[in-house]
Every structure is written in C-alpha cells, then in structure tokens.
C-alpha cells in the first residue's frame, strides 16, 4: 500500500516546472486521443499548436481570445489569494456585457468617441455589482460564495436571454434574438487596420502591471494575501477579513465585467444570447496554470487561447467534436493537480500488515 506523505520542503524548481510538465503530459494524452479517433496525431498537434501562430492574422485572433481569459483570470487570482472562491466569473462577465451594451445602445448620430470609456466603465460596474451580491450574502449571512457565485451565473444568463428575446430585441433583426448592431462610434478601437485585435490588449497589459504592483508592492495587497494564507495570523495582526472578501470579489467581478464589455463592443458588436462561451470557467484553469501570478497568467491565457482556436480548427478540418477543446482544458487542469500533489507530497510504501485476527490467534 502507498501513502501520501507531506514533503518537508517542496522543490521550488519543480513547482515552477509543474505547468510545463502538465502541458507535456496533456500533449501525450492528446496524441493518444488522436490515434484512438483515427486522426493523424502530427496533424492534430499542428492544428492545435502551430496553426494559431502561423502569421500575423492568426496571432491577432489569438490575442482576441486571450484578452478576456487574461482579464478574468487576473481577477480570480486576486480572489484565490484572498481565500475567496469565486466560481461565478462567467455570470459577472455576462452582466458586464449587459451593462456595457445598455450604454452602447444610447449612442446617437452626435455621440463622440468618449462613449467607449463609458462602455468600459459600465462593464466594470456591472460585473462588480454582480460579484458584490456574492460578497454581501457572504458577509451578511455567511452564505457559501462558491454556490452563490455559481448559481448567479444561470441568473445572469436568464437575464441576458430575457433582454435579447424581449425589450432589447432588434426590431429589424428578422426575429433573431439580438440587440441592434452598435454604432461604429461605440466600437473598441483596433490596434491595426485589417486585424481584429483591439486596445483590449493594451488594457490587459496595464491590468497585469497594476495587479502585480497591488499584490506585491502595496500594504493592502499584503493584507489581502496574509488573510488568505493565514487567517489566524491576519486576525492577530488586526487585518480585516471582511475587507479582503469585498476587495477580492469586487476586483474579480470588475475584471470579468471589463472582459464582457470588451467582447460585446469589440469582436461581437452587439449583444446576443451566445455570448457565454465558458471564458469565466476556463479562466479558473488559466489562473492556476499561471500559478496565481499576473505574469504567469499571461502565458497560461495564451496557452488556453491555443486550445480554443485549435479546437475550432480541429472541428472544421479534422471533423473532431467541439468538445475536444474542453477535453484539453480538463486534461491540463487534472494533470496540473496531479503534478502539484506529487510536488507537495511523496508516495511512501507502507506495506501490508498482517490481519488483526491472525495476530490475536
């Protein structure tokens, strides 16, 4: 029999290498899946890891996918470091998109480009309000933030559906459940003509730097992390657990709402019921693969974007099911958890003891 035994001092080198090891194992399992499905594994890996990087247009599309994942994962990293488990970032992403869409639909012929700032702020506020509900229920009634945040995802989706099927439905949209197409003045400016990547890339980079400074160079960030790692020590030092709860959830919700605003006012250009593609849930994996560090999350968000784009290409070119993207995401998460378990613990052989009744005899 084997027993997991905590290591006295986990290897820092292996902790850093763990995501790479998990990725390598995921790729190996992916090769086995391609062979099992009767597909060329070399072609499959090329579609997943080479095609999304082959030219400037492909890299632009990679950035479009990576920005919302990066922003949401940054907010989730703050929550986890505060020991607050926000599983409902998808709902906050949707409500940010709803709030941003309302502002975008107020634009008229005389509206200036300033409205883009208002749209992004509305997204941040919408997401923060939705996560603020979780913080309030946790703070006031000690409700479980995991369940509350997760259930609010479905409430948010139903609210979005009600709006696009009802009062916000485009009267000239041939009965499709969608809002009007937003005016060009409300669109997020693109970085380069001919490419879909927009200033969301710059905003995401600024957010990475800002959160790094907040977490590792400010007293408030230090308080938040101490409260997450050692609640008893935080209470002894006089740090407020309520403050950590509210700060973590409001930052997380605001970042998710910002991602939603960038999505509807950027690539989509309108609000539809198909906005939810799982970014809020995939960002959980992104945050942990990135080791809850802003810089690490940059690389993990790019990796997850490869899975999204590679899955779409594999579906069209190889005839693989759409679920292949989720399979790779799940494999990466579970292999990472397995690697981390063996980094923090070691397997110890304890043998098989004699049956108790035989010793008594």
Alpha carbon distance 76, 149 (integer Å):
12
- Tokens describing residue 264: 């509807």
DSSP tag of 166? T
Task: Report phi then psi at 238, rounded to 5.
Answer: 85, 15
Taking the CB of residue 29, how many other CB atoms lie within 10 A of it? 16
Alpha carbon distance 72, 94 (integer Å):
12
Q: What pLDDT is recorded for position 355?
A: 55
Q: What pLDDT is recorded for position 238?
A: 79
- 115 contacts 278 by C-beta, under 8 angstroms: no
Alpha carbon distance 79, 336 (integer Å):
20
Q: What pLDDT is recorded for position 358?
A: 47
Full DSSP string of 265-282:
IIII-S--TT--SSHHHH
Rounded alpha-carbon distances, angstroms, from residue 205 to 71, 217, 317: 9, 17, 33
Spell out a b/e string for 302-333, using b for 16 or more CB atoms within 10 Å of the CB, else e. Answer: bbbbbbbbbbbbbbeebebeeebbebbbebbb
Rounded alpha-carbon distances, angstroms, from residue 291 to 25, 117, 125, 285, 339: 18, 31, 27, 10, 13
Q: What pLDDT is recorded for position 8?
A: 86
Q: What pLDDT is recorded for position 361?
A: 43
Task: Report phi then psi at 93, rounded to 5.
Answer: -60, -45
Helix (H) or strand (E) holding 5: strand 2-6
Distance of CA 276 to the CA centre of its chain: 12
* Regions of the chain short of the pLDDT cut 50: 358-361
260, 264, 265: which is closest to 283 by C-alpha? 260
DSSP tag of 346? E
Alpha helices in 6-144 (DSSP H): 12-36, 41-49, 56-81, 89-104, 115-141
257, 251, 255: which is closest to 95 by C-alpha? 257
Query: pLDDT digit string (tens) for 51-61?
Result: 999 899 999 99
Domain boundaries, the chain: 66-189+199-293
Is the pTM value of this prediction over 0.85? yes
């Amino acid at each position: 029999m084997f027993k997991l035994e905590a290591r006295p001092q986990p290897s820092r080198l292996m902790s850093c290498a763990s995501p790479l090891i998990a990725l390598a194992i995921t790729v190996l399992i992916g090769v086995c899946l391609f062979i099992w499905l009767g597909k060329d594994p070399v072609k499959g890996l090329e579609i997943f890891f080479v095609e999304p990087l082959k030219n400037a247009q492909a890299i632009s599309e990679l950035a479009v996918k990576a920005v919302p994942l990066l922003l949401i994962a940054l907010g989730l990293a703050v929550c986890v470091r505060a020991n607050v488990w926000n599983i409902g970032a998808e709902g906050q992403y949707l409500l940010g998109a709803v709030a941003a869409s309302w502002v975008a639909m107020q634009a008229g012929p005389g509206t200036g480009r300033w409205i883009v700032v208002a749209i992004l702020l509305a997204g941040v506020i919408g997401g923060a309000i939705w996560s603020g509900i979780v913080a309030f229920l946790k703070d006031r009634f000690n409700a479980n933030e995991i369940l509350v945040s997760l259930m609010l995802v479905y409430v948010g989706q139903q609210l979005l559906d009600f709006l696009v099927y009802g009062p916000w439905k485009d009267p000239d949209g041939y009965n499709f459940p969608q809002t009007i197409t937003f005016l060009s003045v409300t669109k997020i400016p693109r970085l380069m003509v001919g490419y879909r990547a927009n200033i969301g890339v710059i905003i995401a980079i600024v957010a990475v730097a800002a959160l790094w400074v907040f977490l590792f160079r400010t007293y408030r960030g230090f308080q938040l992390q101490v409260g997450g790692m050692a609640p008893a020590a935080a209470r002894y030092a006089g740090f407020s657990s309520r403050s950590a709860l509210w700060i973590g959830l409001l930052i997380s919700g605001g970042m998710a709402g910002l991602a939603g605003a960038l999505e509807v006012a950027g690539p989509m250009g309108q609000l539809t019921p198909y906005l939810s593609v799982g970014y809020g849930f995939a960002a959980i994996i992104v945050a942990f693969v990135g080791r809850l560090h802003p810089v690490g999350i940059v690389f993990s968000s790019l990796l997850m974007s490869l899975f999204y784009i590679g899955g779409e290409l594999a579906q069209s070119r190889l005839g693989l099911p759409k679920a292949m993207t989720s399979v790779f995401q799940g494999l990466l998460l579970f292999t990472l958890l397995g690697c981390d378990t063996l980094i923090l613990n070691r397997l110890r052989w304890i043998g098989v003891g004699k049956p108790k009744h035989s010793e008594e005899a």
